[in-house]
Structure 1
Amino acid sequence: MNAFLIERLAIQLREELIGKAVQEAFTTSQFDVTLVFDSLVIKVSFYQGQAYFQTPDPDKLQKKNRLSVYKSINGAKVLEVKTYSYDRRFDIVFDYGEILSFYLYGKFGQITHYQLGIWQETFPAKSSKVLSYETQQYEVRGKSLEELRFLTMEDKESLLQKNFDSQSDEDRAGLLENLKREVMSRCLYVNKGPRKYTLDYAAGDEPIASFDNVIDALDNYARLYISHQVFNQTKNAHLGQLRKELSNIAKKLKSAEKRLSELNKASSYKEKADLLMANMWQIEKRAKQVVLTSFDGEKEVTIKLQEILTPQANAERYYKKGKNESKQRDFAKKYLAEIEANYLAKEEEIAAFEQVDNLKQIRKTADKKTALKEVRLPYK
């Protein structure tokens, strides 16, 4: 969220909340906080650090596993929603000196509770604490275009064309105020992009909806964006696990093919035994090895011998080894067939999973380790 959008949100919240009391403030996870007012429910989800605003139906709020937060604001009425021009923050000021400050600085977003200016609590809990409550406005006077980091590239380009840096401080302030007024009156569009949903000031190739009301725009965008991102991350996590399993099977397949190839290429023990029996007359006594021509005459076969055994005894030893070799070859063939079947089955599993487009089904299919990593657990 940019500074103009945040200020626009704060202004609309002011219209909705002034004079309204907080009924309850609670969280159901490490990243979601819900503020229930008389006329409006605001749920803020800190997804991957960024704050996303939703306005859920009060009747559909989670009933179980609630953990109260900001307890002292319960029953307090909203006196003011304080805006900070050109800054990414706003405050909801209650009676009794209670304040909720929304610091929405990208991935460092947080909501901090102050009482009479003294820090009480920060959500999410692991956020860096802003202990001191400050109310000074962001000063833009004297700053160059490059220093105004809250501006989008589009905004900077617009001011660049008006020679912003060459203007006086007063004229720069006027240009910025005119830009803010123009941007904050624009229609907002929720667009579907190739990888995620976006909230923009113009319709994209696949516009989903358009809004003049910023609260409705943020609500619609947050629901689509978070659900789509959770869907993709959950699916990709399990796909990654499946592809890792496929890779492991591929390694086993390569090893099994190599083993069977080695068994097929090597001169069999039975062949060596047959060669010894056919050539016993030319084998010297106490020889340690003998080189004989294969039966097809195409190669020479080196046969190691036990010098204390006769040629016939050596042949019988190789016949015995031949029986084990045959068993090894049969086992290698059977093992290779099993690995090939596992590989094909895993490919089919991946292909089928890639077609799943339902998050519940994905979570059912995914293994427990992946599911626990992706799902936010409620407080117990």
Structure 2
Amino acid sequence: MSFHALYVCRLANELNQLLQGATLLQVYSAEKNHLFIHFKGADKRNISLAFRVEGDAMYLYFPEEDQPKSRNALDQFKPAWNTGVKGVHSHPGERSFHLDLGQSSLVFLCYGRHANVLLQRGEETQSFRTKSTSKSDFSGNRLKELAGASWPQNAETFLNASFVTPHLKKNFSATAGSEAAFSKLLAAYLEGPVYLNKEADQYSFDAVKGQELLSSYTTLSAALNPFTELQLALHFFTQRKADLLRELNNEVNSCEKRLKALEKQRIQLNSEKNYRHLGDLILSHLPSIKEGMAFIDLTDYLDGKVIRIPLKEKLTPQDNAQRFYRKAKNQHLQEARLNEEVAQLEKRYIEASEKLDAVRSATDMRALRIHIKDKKKQPEQSVRLPYHRFNFMDFDILVGKQAKDNDELTLKIAKKDDLWLHARDVGGSHVVVRKKGTLSFPEPVLMAAAGLALWFSKRRNEALAPVIYTEKKFVRKRKGDAAGAVVVEKEKVVMAAPLSPDQF
């Protein structure tokens, strides 16, 4: 941590020299945790100081050019505008300092992610970061008391002080027992060269040279801008890398979960009876089968075992055979679609895994950019949406929540070329798959949407059930129909398995 009590004190002393005779012109915030403070120096030169909190760290630096005030900027501490700076006072032993503005004081609390800037006017306190409001007393008498404090005079007292960080303790421990060594190191922090170092996972400035010295400065003020630029770049890189790792881990986990679910479906399909073979057995034993039978036991000509075949009592033997042939066709289609979806998912899984490895090994933003997707920011929804949203293979799937929501989804939100689905012959949600340009709907997307249609219907507990689908332009509502009721034309039917939302 670079902004320990010694360097906060040193910065206050340097600001005191810089702002002698200056006038505070205006203070405004460009973002939630970003404050700009503009002064007019005694020599009529513009001076700007920026305060910023990102993550767990606080930054103070000098913008090299005047920041244009944006239209969305919020004015802060207006009672202090156009007042002269009487002085900048350090608080030895504390990570704070204040600007004396005569009738008020601008107090800087340099406590990492809890850092804040306050305007103290008598007993009244205004806070920039309201969630970080300090409960400490910063009235005039208290500020004078803080400014009048002094540093410990020996290493033993210094090392036991509450403001000493582990880093300071490590450096000052070597001076224990030597008053001269302690005084020399204390002076180095308060007045000596400032070294900008690179550590393993961060940048820092210090009075002691680090393992990798980047540059040195005669004042702390001169080190603030290069330190802030480097550390903020590292912070945003680390943050973006963490976001990408989380996204890609979710993608990999989603593919793994869906592949396991498909494998269960494959096992279930393979364990089911061979319907074509049952149809063949019925046709080869037609003389033995009478209409009205509920089942028949036949000897399988493949292995000689007796098989009990269930029959529909109201169907002829030939119709019962045709029923099994239709099931066999659906079974074959289901298996083909299952294999296609598995192939697509395995491809996505491999791509996501490769990207995950590449992002893990990235050491700078340039290496990350090729993996960052251009996503338009979606406006935050302040009203309730009438649908659940899912995404599969980059296709948006919308599922109505209630009967009235189904009407809104189908009649107002869905476009004419979107795909519309519903569980056949039972109550359930309307499902809409958004059309993407001229792309057709891949079979895996159709099956995923059909699975959701079954899950959000009264067929949720069936192993395999029919779903109707068509283009939305062939769905209409008649005057007087109940909520959610529609007329569907040119529909097709697909057999699918219910699909839990947890698998997306």
The TM-score with structure 2 as length reference comes to 0.61
Match of 1:180 in 2: 186
Among candidates 110, 120, 125, match of residue 130 of structure 2: 125
CA shift digits 1:133-160 (9 cap, x unpaired): 2132457599966641222335435655
Find the residue that maps to 1:365 and give its secondary structure. Answer: coil
Match of 2:11 in 1: 9
Matched residue type, 1:45: R
Equivalent positions of 1:174-253 (< 5 A) are 179-253=185-259
Once the two structures are TM-superposed, the CA of residue 62 in structure 1 deviates from its matched residue by 4.8
Match of 1:378 in 2: none
Match of 1:375 in 2: none
Once the two structures are TM-superposed, the CA of residue 344 in structure 1 deviates from its matched residue by 4.3
Match of 1:377 in 2: none
Provide the rounded CA distance (Å) in 2 between the counterparts of 1:333 and 1:362.
29
Find the residue that maps to 1:58 and give its secondary structure. Answer: coil
Provide the rounded CA distance (Å) in 2 between the counterparts of 1:274 and 1:77.
100
Find the residue that maps to 2:132 and give its secondary structure. Answer: coil
Equivalent positions of 1:1-380 (< 5 A) are 1-37=3-39, 38=41, 39=45, 40-48=47-55, 50-94=57-101, 96-115=102-121, 117-129=122-134, 130=136, 132-133=138-139, 134-135=142-143, 136-137=145-146, 147-157=160-170, 160=173, 179-278=185-284, 286=293, 288=295, 290=297, 292-293=299-300, 295=302, 297=303, 303-306=309-312, 314-347=320-353, 357-358=365-366, 365-366=374-375, 368=377
Aligned residues of 1:119 and 1:131 also touching (Cα < 8 A) = no
Provide the rounded CA distance (Å) in 2 between the counterparts of 1:12 and 1:323.
84
Distance 1:313 1:152, change over 3 A: closer
Distance 1:283 1:200, change over 3 A: farther
Aligned residues of 1:290 and 1:305 also touching (Cα < 8 A) = no
Provide the rounded CA distance (Å) in 2 between the counterparts of 1:352 and 1:330.
33
Q: Structure 1 stretch 240-249 or stretch 221-230: which is displaced more?
A: 240-249
Once the two structures are TM-superposed, the CA of residue 244 in structure 1 deviates from its matched residue by 1.3
Q: Which runs of 5+ in 2 are unaligned?
A: 381-504
Q: Structure 1 stretch 56-65 or stretch 245-254: which is displaced more?
A: 56-65
Once the two structures are TM-superposed, the CA of residue 338 in structure 1 deviates from its matched residue by 3.3
Distance 1:159 1:341, change over 3 A: closer
Distance 1:301 1:4, change over 3 A: farther
CA shift digits 1:284-330 (9 cap, x unpaired): 995745364462x3977553345676766543432232232223223
Distance 1:258 1:180, change over 3 A: same
Find the residue that maps to 2:232 and give its secondary structure. Answer: helix
Provide the rounded CA distance (Å) in 1 between the counterparts of 2:355 and 2:188.
52
Provide the rounded CA distance (Å) in 1 between the counterparts of 2:330 and 2:5.
78
Q: Structure 1 stretch 312-321 or stretch 281-290: which is displaced more?
A: 281-290
Matched residue type, 1:368: K
CA shift digits 1:227-275 (9 cap, x unpaired): 2212321342244223313322332223223323432453310012223
Provide the rounded CA distance (Å) in 2 between the counterparts of 1:341 and 1:157.
52
Provide the rounded CA distance (Å) in 2 between the counterparts of 1:294 and 1:251.
41
Provide the rounded CA distance (Å) in 2 between the counterparts of 1:347 and 1:262.
28
Aligned residues of 1:234 and 1:362 also touching (Cα < 8 A) = no
Aligned residues of 1:188 and 1:212 also touching (Cα < 8 A) = yes
Find the residue that maps to 1:18 and give its secondary structure. Answer: coil
Distance 1:145 1:189, change over 3 A: closer
Matched residue type, 1:183: Y
Aligned residues of 1:21 and 1:77 also touching (Cα < 8 A) = yes
Match of 1:374 in 2: none
Once the two structures are TM-superposed, the CA of residue 87 in structure 1 deviates from its matched residue by 1.7
Matched residue type, 2:127: T
The alignment covers a number of residue pairs equal to 361
Provide the rounded CA distance (Å) in 2 between the counterparts of 1:327 and 1:157.
71
Find the residue that maps to 2:164 and give its secondary structure. Answer: coil
Aligned residues of 1:54 and 1:223 also touching (Cα < 8 A) = no
Aligned residues of 1:26 and 1:66 also touching (Cα < 8 A) = yes
Q: Structure 1 stretch 347-356 or stretch 334-343: which is displaced more?
A: 347-356
Q: Structure 1 stretch 180-189 or stretch 4-13: which is displaced more?
A: 180-189
Matched residue type, 2:365: D
Distance 1:269 1:229, change over 3 A: same
Matched residue type, 2:374: T
